[in-house]
Structure formats: structure tokens, C-alpha cells
């Protein structure tokens, strides 16, 4: 009787282990399938040809393994073999869009709410994008306030599957001497994006291309900083023209913390490095672009300072006021 129970327990444990392993393999297979569709979608958006070789490189698998995965996706009606490579079907494009929507919303959450460093955001979202349960993605969208872009400036697909075009012009196609603002930072390949993060480039920053040297290095002025960007980094930085500014050298922006007592100015923007709850709190206090703000009362050591905005006095610490950028021209109330 004891032997019978022991045998039964062993079989139960073995069955549980094999069941878990089977489910794990199925999830891994589904994740790779979705990654394949994401690759095809990215190639489609960039007007590039997707092939077995490009898929193998993207998925970090052998060509043979990629061919097997492609055959399985084709059997499920997710892709088709075209004369010039691989193409998504309508069903495959719909699934790819759902994965992309989840990925970019998770990136927005991880950067804004969790405060995760940008180099880790992309890899973490790559894992979370596959865990789409019920209305979880739509709920996340609502919690975040229905954002239009991810932290890199990529458009987020709508719930209906609509996706705006990637904004801007690559810095490599930008005119020397022209000023613009960064609207998009490409996050692939990862080693180039790490350089972008190390250089502290962010959407919303003002940039002027100064020159391109004989080695292909791009000398730029960004909010008063002069940087040299490699051709790989420059190709991943996208800009739009500054409509309101003449394309001259961009001076370092003045910050609210530099405002003298009784002096007034107009808010230009909140520093893009400030995200999540801290950013929303300043916006809720009325620190929005175009608003007139004046310094009223300063405590000892200039911290905190009371600012008058929209008829209300708001006390801000210096580190908070440092994140509020002012327009070049000052104005009285």
C-alpha cells in the first residue's frame, strides 16, 4: 500500500513537472511568434524587406529555427511568402499591432510611473508585452491618461489598431545651421540607444546642427551643450523644425529657479527628464506652457520660493523650480 502511494505521488509530481514544462514551451513559442510578427511589422513600416535571414538575426536564432517558425506562422495565416521576402497578412498585422501597443504602453508606465532607467525600460517591456490578459492593456492606457507616444517618441497604436507615422526627420538628413526639437529617438539597435541615453538626449530638447566633420561626426548644440554624435547615433535622432525660433545658436534655457524676486516670465516647458507623478503635480499646480509666473517671496537660502501662477501662490523647492524652463522673453503681469 505504501509503495502504491509512493508510486502515485511520483507520477503526480512527474505529471505536474511535464505539464509546467509543456506550458512554458508553448508560451515561449508564442512569444517568439509574436516577436517575428513585430519584426515583419517594423520592416513594413520602414519600407525594408523582411527575410528569413533578417528574422533569424532579430530573434537571435539559427536560420533553420527561423524557417520552422515562419512555416508555423504561415500555417496559422499570420504571414505569407512574397516574391521579395516575407509579408504580414491582415490577421498577422492585427496581432503585431496588439503586441506593439502593449509594448509601448508598458514603456510609458515603466518610465513615468515606475521611474525605471530608460536602458532597462525597453528590455522589460519586451517581456511584459506578451502578457496581455483581458482588458489589461486598455486599463493601462486609461491609467496613463491615453498617451500618444512612448518615452522615445514612438507613436502608440490606438485600441482600434491605428498607428500614426513616426514623426520627424533624421539628423543625418538635417541641414547644417538649422534648429529643431527632438521628437523621436530610435531604440534599436540597443547598443546605439545606450549611447543616446548616456548623452542624455530626450524628446523635447532643442537642437541645432553645427557641422559634420570629415569623419562623419555630427557637432550639435543641445540646450546650450555642444556634443559630437556618431553617424549611428545621428541616424537614430529625429527632429522637427522650430517654427517660432530663428535657426541661430540655441542658448542654455533659463530656469524658474533663476527668476529674481518680483520678476515675471513665461513658462516654455517642463524639463522632459521629469516624468510621472512629479511632472503631473507641477502641471496640476498650473505650471503649463505659456503661463505667466512671477517670484513673490523667497525663504532663507532661496529654498523654497513662493511663485504666483494663475492668481495663486505656489511654494516650490529649488530642485522643482529647476525643472521648469522659461521662454527667452520676460513679461510683466
Indicate if 235 and 193 belong to the same structural domain.
Answer: yes
Judgement on whether residues 214 and 260 belong to the same structural domain of the protein: no
Same domain, 222 and 274: no
Same domain, 182 and 226: yes
**Residue 296 placed within a domain:** yes
Question: Has residue 101 been placed in a domain?
Answer: no
In a domain, 100, yes or no: no
With a cut of 70, which residues of the chain have pLDDT below it? 1-15, 243-252, 272-276, 299-302, 328-333
How many domains is the chain partitioned into structurally? 3
The answer to whether position 113 is within a domain reads no
Q: What CATH number should be reported for the domain holding residue 196?
A: 2.30.30.90
pLDDT the model gives residue 9: 60
Tens digit of pLDDT for each residue in 149-183? 888 888 899 988 888 887 789 999 999 999 998 98
C-alpha cell at 305: 520660493
Please check whether residue 134 lies inside any domain of the structure.
no
The range of the structural domain enclosing residue 228 comes to 169-241
Residues 221/211, Cβ–Cβ less than 8 Å:
no
Integer Rg of the chain from CA? 25
Q: What is the pLDDT of residue 101?
A: 95
Count the Cβ atoms, other than its own, within 10 Å of residue 280: 14
Q: List C-alpha distances in Å: 222 to 33, 94, 165, 249, 268.
A: 40, 39, 25, 9, 16
**What pLDDT does residue 293 have?**
94
Long-range contact set of residues 80-87: C-beta below 8 Å, sequence gap at least 24: 84/49, 85/43, 85/49, 85/50, 85/51, 86/40, 86/50, 86/51, 86/52, 86/55, 87/40, 87/44, 87/50
C-alpha cell at 93: 498585422
CB contact at 8 A, 269 and 289: yes
Chain CA centroid to CA 85, Å:
29
DSSP 247: S
71-130: pLDDT as tens digits = 999 999 999 998 889 999 999 999 999 999 999 999 989 987 887 877 788 889 999 999
Examine residue 132 and state whether it is found in any structural domain, yes or no: no
Residues 17 and 47 occupy one common structural domain: yes
| Residue 104 belongs to some domain of the structure | no
Domain end (from 210, 241, 272): 241
3-state secondary structure of 99: helix
Q: 277 in a domain, yes or no? A: yes
The residue out of 53, 88, 123 marking a domain boundary is: 88
Which three three-digit cell numbers place residue 45? 513600416
Would you state the pLDDT for residue 251? 54
Amino acid at each position: 500500500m505504501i509503495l502504491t502511494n509512493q508510486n502515485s505521488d511520483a507520477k503526480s509530481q512527474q505529471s505536474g513537472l511535464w505539464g509546467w514544462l509543456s506550458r512554458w514551451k508553448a508560451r515561449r513559442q508564442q512569444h517568439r511568434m509574436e516577436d517575428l510578427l513585430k519584426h515583419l511589422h517594423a520592416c513594413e513600416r520602414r519600407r525594408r524587406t523582411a527575410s528569413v535571414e533578417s528574422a533569424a538575426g532579430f530573434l537571435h536564432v539559427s536560420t533553420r529555427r527561423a524557417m520552422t517558425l515562419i512555416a508555423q506562422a504561415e500555417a496559422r495565416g499570420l504571414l505569407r511568402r512574397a516574391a521579395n521576402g516575407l509579408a504580414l497578412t491582415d490577421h498577422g498585422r492585427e496581432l503585431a499591432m496588439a503586441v506593439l501597443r502593449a509594448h509601448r504602453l508598458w514603456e510609458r508606465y515603466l518610465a513615468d510611473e515606475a521611474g525605471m532607467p530608460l536602458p532597462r525600460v525597453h528590455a522589460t517591456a519586451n517581456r511584459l508585452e506578451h502578457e496581455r490578459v483581458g482588458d489589461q492593456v486598455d486599463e493601462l492606457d486609461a491609467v496613463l491618461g491615453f498617451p500618444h507616444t512612448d518615452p522615445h517618441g514612438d507613436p502608440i497604436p490606438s485600441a482600434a489598431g491605428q498607428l500614426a507615422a513616426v514623426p520627424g526627420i533624421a539628423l543625418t538628413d538635417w541641414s547644417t545651421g538649422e534648429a529643431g526639437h527632438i521628437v523621436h529617438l530610435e531604440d534599436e539597435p540597443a547598443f546605439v540607444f545606450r549611447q543616446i541615453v548616456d548623452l542624455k538626449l530626450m524628446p523635447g530638447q532643442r537642437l541645432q546642427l553645427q557641422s559634420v566633420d570629415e569623419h562623419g561626426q555630427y557637432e550639435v548644440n543641445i540646450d546650450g551643450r555642444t556634443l559630437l554624435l556618431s553617424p549611428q547615433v545621428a541616424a537614430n535622432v529625429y527632429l522637427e523644425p522650430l517654427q517660432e525660433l530663428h535657426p541661430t545658436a540655441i542658448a542654455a534655457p533659463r530656469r524658474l529657479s533663476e527668476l529674481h524676486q518680483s520678476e515675471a516670465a513665461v513658462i516654455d516647458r517642463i524639463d522632459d527628464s521629469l516624468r510621472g507623478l512629479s511632472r503631473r503635480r507641477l502641471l496640476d499646480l498650473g505650471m503649463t506652457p505659456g503661463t505667466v509666473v512671477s517670484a513673490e517671496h523667497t525663504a532663507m537660502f532661496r529654498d523654497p520660493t513662493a511663485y504666483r501662477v494663475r492668481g495663486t501662490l505656489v511654494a516650490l523647492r529649488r530642485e522643482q523650480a529647476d525643472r521648469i524652463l522659461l521662454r527667452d522673453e520676460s513679461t510683466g503681469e
